[in-house]
Amino acid sequence: MIAYGDNIKVFCGNANPIFAQTICKELGIEMGKGDVQTFADGEVSVSLSETVRNSDVFLIQPTCKPVNDHLMELLIMIDACRRASAGRITAVIPYFGYARQDRKAKSRDPISSKLVANMLTAAGANRILTMDLHAPQIQGFFDIPVDHLLGNPTFVNYYLEKFPEEQYDHEGFVVVSPDVGSVGRARAFAAKMHMGLAIVDKRRQKANQCEVMNVIGDVRGKTCIMFDDMIDTGGSLCNAAEALVKVGGAKAVYACATHGVFSQKAFDHIENSVIEEVVVHNTIPLPTDRSCRKVKQLDVAPIFARAISHIHCGTSIADLF
């Protein structure tokens, strides 16, 4: 374990404190002392209880639901550290909200992910650490360095243990992209798994609703592993799984995604679907008011801890991939 001394400081907001505590445990350091509270009218108040002068500060805060509240917490934490003369401020954003608004889909649309990137930079962030952006080109929206971690190595290890090669013929498996936009990440995952690739072609009618058209690729009699960057309401995922079984003739369907947003009735959709199991990372905490027996979380806090260690020590993070 590296002896970091007093030059590294880790703080977190209210988005996922358990994740932040796990990172600190992996690093062998104490969480920074501070309070992030909300006034009665909704204003965010940040108070740091220890010095950060000339320190290498890491602020851990996924911008998950409620997105705007957690984003404001992060911005104000960055500003607090900047005004307290922090040496360097790295915003650790396991899940980057607004990432789906990365382009103008129609006239007069905003590009909200670019706006958020500008806000983080203007607040005083010197560096961004995140995982599996919805569109990798969002890295270019920032005028500061971005370390973009990949979640697929964790899934590769999980499925190789779940379906060991000595017991299963990988010719009987296929990785599936649930839509055309996710083909790139699904192809990379399939290459690491040494499996074939199929695509579910769908036509989206409006936000959070889509109509599955057909299955591209041979999935008949095979076990399918659908791979995506996030699951929101689960409607698209469950429709794609149904198409794989009913249209493509798949034997079984599993699914994995880096970010489990799980909005609205996502758990109900998954529970009532043909999907055997859904695996996500803990970049976003699971809802506490509902659950689903088919959903499983994998811990990626150790990966972020290693990335933070590399960034602090000024070494390459290439080994994390």
Q: Are 52 and 115 contained in the same domain?
A: yes
Q: Which domain holds residue 50?
A: 8-150+301-320
Q: How many domains does the chain have?
A: 2
pLDDT of residue 212: 60
Q: Are 31 and 121 contained in the same domain?
A: yes
202 is catalytic: yes
- 1 in a domain, yes or no? no
Mean pLDDT of successive 10-residue stretches along the chain, which has 321 residues: 74 97 97 95 95 97 96 98 98 97 94 98 98 95 97 95 74 91 92 94 64 84 96 92 93 97 95 97 93 96 97 91 75
- 2 in a domain, yes or no? no
Q: Are 62 and 179 contained in the same domain?
A: no
CATH of the domain at 182: 3.40.50.2020
In the set 65, 202, 246, 265, the catalytic residue is 202
pTM of the model: 0.93
Q: Are 35 and 109 contained in the same domain?
A: yes
Which residues lie closer than 8 Å to 112 by C-beta, 6 or more apart? 98, 101
Burial of 150 (0-12, 13-18, 19+ CB in 10 A): middle
pLDDT of residue 319: 82
Q: Are 137 and 248 contained in the same domain?
A: no
Q: Are 252 and 315 contained in the same domain?
A: no
In this structure, how many other beta carbons lie within 10 angstroms of the beta carbon of residue 4? 17
Q: Are 114 and 179 contained in the same domain?
A: no
Q: Are 118 and 51 contained in the same domain?
A: yes
Q: Are 22 and 124 contained in the same domain?
A: yes
